[in-house]
Amino acid sequence: MTTIRELCYTDGMKPSSTSLDIQPFLVMDVMERANTLASAGRDVIHLEVGEPDFDTPPCIRRAAWEAMEKGKTHYTDSLGIPELREAISGHYARTYGVKVDVDRIVVTAGSSPALLLAMACLIDAGDTVMMTDPYYACYPNFVKVLKGTPLFVPTGSADGFQLDPGKAHALIKPSTRAIVVNSPANPTGVCLDAEHMKAIASLGVPVISDEIYHGLVYESEQHTILEFTDEAVVINGFSKAYAMTGWRLGWAIFPAHMIRSVQKLQQNLMICAPSVAQWAGVAALTEAGPDVERMHRTFGRRRKVMLDEMARWRFNVEVEPTGAFYVLVNMRKYTKDSRAFAMEILERTGVGVTPGIDFGSGAEGYIRFSYANSETNIVEGISRVARFLESV
C-alpha cells in the first residue's frame, strides 16, 4: 500500500516526516478562503482573524521612517538594540512593578520566534511540554518540530477554562521540561488570576508564559508570571496591543543563566530582529500610550457589543472572556465537526469564523469569534450566523 509520505514526493528531494505530520493552522485556511470569496465579489465579514483592524499608530510609523532615513537598516546586536531592551525593562517596572534586568531580554522577530527560542532552550527530543486543552493552535506544533511531546491538561467551562494547578501537578512526569500558560488566552479570552499564577509558578516545572494579549484586558487584572518567579520565560510582543502584526517584533525574558544559550540560537537561526522595526518598538513603548488606550477602549466596546448580540440570539457562551479579542461559543448542538461547520458558515453567510478543533480536541464543536472588527460588522456578522443556525 502506498503511504501518504510516498505520495508526497518522487525520486529526489523528500519532505521530512516533521513537515508532513505538522497540522495546518485552520484559521489561516478559513481566512484565505474568505479572501478568495471577497475577491470574487462576495460581501465577507472577517470574525476569524486575531488581528487588530487598526493602522499602526502614527508615532510608531514615524519612528520607523526616521530610522530608515538615518540609515539604521543594518544588523543589530543579536539580543536587540539597547534602547529597545531598556524600554521593555521600563515597561515592566511601570506596568507590573517588576524589575527586569536588560541583560535578561532578547528582542525577536515576533512572539512566535520567541516561543521557538524558549522551547529550543528547554526541551530535547523525548521531553514533554505541558499545556491546557484548549490551547493556542501552534503550541503543540512547536513542541513536535523539536521532537518533544505535548502533554495536555483538559480544561472546560466547569473550571472556567482555567488551568487547575492540582491537575497539572498530577500529570507532571520526569520528562516534563516546561509548562506553557497563556493569559489572556487564545481562544477563550480567559485571564489567569493571581492565585492560579502563583500556584503554577510553584509547581517546580519551568513556566513559559505567553503574554502577547497583555494590554487587552477589560474586566480582570493582568499579571505577569514574573511577579511570582524569576525562573520563567515570558513571551510578549507588539502585534496585538500596538496593532503591529506585520512588523514582526516581539521579545522574550529569560532567567539570566539561560541568556547565552538563547543568544547562540538567535545568532544562528534569526541573526537579529528587523532593525527598523526595533526602532519603531522604542516609540511604541515610550510614545504610543494614548493610541494603545484608545484601541483598548474600542476593543472593550466591541466585546460588549458581541456579547450582547450573542445573548440576544441565544448563543451558548459558557464563559465570558475578560481579555484578548475572542469569544468561544459552544456549537455542539449543531455539529461534531467544527472545521466543516466553519467552512459551511463561511460559504452560506459570508462570515469567517474559526473552528474550535484548531485549538485541540477539548474545543471540538466550538466556534471562535473575533471582535477585532467594527461594531457594525460584528452586529451584522452575528445576525447572519444566527439566521443560519435557525436553518440547521
Q: Among residues 288, 323, 340, which one ends one of the domains? A: 288
- Residue-wise pLDDT for 166-202, tens only, equals 999 999 999 999 999 999 999 999 999 999 999 999 9
Say whether both 33 and 21 belong to one domain. yes
Q: What is the CATH number of the domain that holds 179?
A: 3.40.640.10
pLDDT of residue 282: 98
pLDDT of residue 356: 96
Say whether both 42 and 110 belong to one domain. no
pLDDT of residue 18: 86
Q: Alpha-carbon distance 13 to 171, whole Å? A: 40
Say whether both 74 and 50 belong to one domain. no
Residue 11 has pLDDT above 70, yes or no: no
Residue 5 has pLDDT above 70, yes or no: no
Say whether both 265 and 328 belong to one domain. no
DSSP assignment of 231-268 equals: SEEEEEESTTTTT-GGG--EEEE--GGGHHHHHHHHHH
Say whether both 14 and 145 belong to one domain. no
Cα angle value 181/232/245 (rounded, 5°): 60
Total domains, the chain:
2
Say whether both 277 and 158 belong to one domain. yes
Q: Among residues 288, 311, 328, which one ends one of the domains? A: 288
Residue 10 has pLDDT above 80, yes or no: no
Say whether both 282 and 298 belong to one domain. no
Say whether both 42 and 64 belong to one domain. no
pLDDT of residue 7: 57
Of the two residues 241 and 15, the one the predictor is more confident about is: 241
Say whether both 107 and 183 belong to one domain. yes
| pLDDT more than 90, % of the chain | 90
Band of residue 4 on the pLDDT scale cut at 50, 70, 90: low
Say whether both 326 and 178 belong to one domain. no
Burial class of residue 9 (count of CB atoms within 10 Å of its CB; 0-12, 13-18, 19+): exposed
Q: Which range of residues forms the domain containing residue 342?
A: 4-55+291-391
Q: Among residues 288, 311, 331, which one ends one of the domains? A: 288
Say whether both 226 and 107 belong to one domain. yes
pLDDT of residue 20: 87
* Out of 61-70, 157-166, 373-382, least confident range: 157-166
pLDDT of residue 379: 98
Question: Beta strand 351-352 with 326-330: parallel, antiparallel or unpaired?
Answer: unpaired
Residue 3 has pLDDT above 70, yes or no: no
How high is the mean pLDDT of the chain?
94
- Residue-wise pLDDT for 302-330, tens only, equals 999 999 999 999 999 999 999 999 999 99
**Mean of the pLDDT values across residues 92-96?**
96
Provide the 10 A C-beta neighbour count for residue 215. 21
- Residue-wise pLDDT for 207-266, tens only, equals 999 999 999 999 878 999 999 999 899 999 999 999 999 999 999 999 999 999 999 999
Burial class of residue 371 (count of CB atoms within 10 Å of its CB; 0-12, 13-18, 19+): buried
105 and 251 Cβ atoms separated by less than 8 Å: yes
Q: What is the CATH number of the domain that holds 8?
A: 3.90.1150.10
Residue 286 has pLDDT above 60, yes or no: yes
Say whether both 113 and 42 belong to one domain. no
Band of residue 2 on the pLDDT scale cut at 50, 70, 90: low
For 342-358, give the secondary structure using H, E and C.
HHHHHHHHCEECEEHHH
| pLDDT more than 70, % of the chain | 97
pLDDT of residue 12: 72
- Residue-wise pLDDT for 21-59, tens only, equals 888 888 999 999 999 999 999 999 999 988 899 999 999
Q: Alpha-carbon distance 338 to 358, whole Å? A: 9
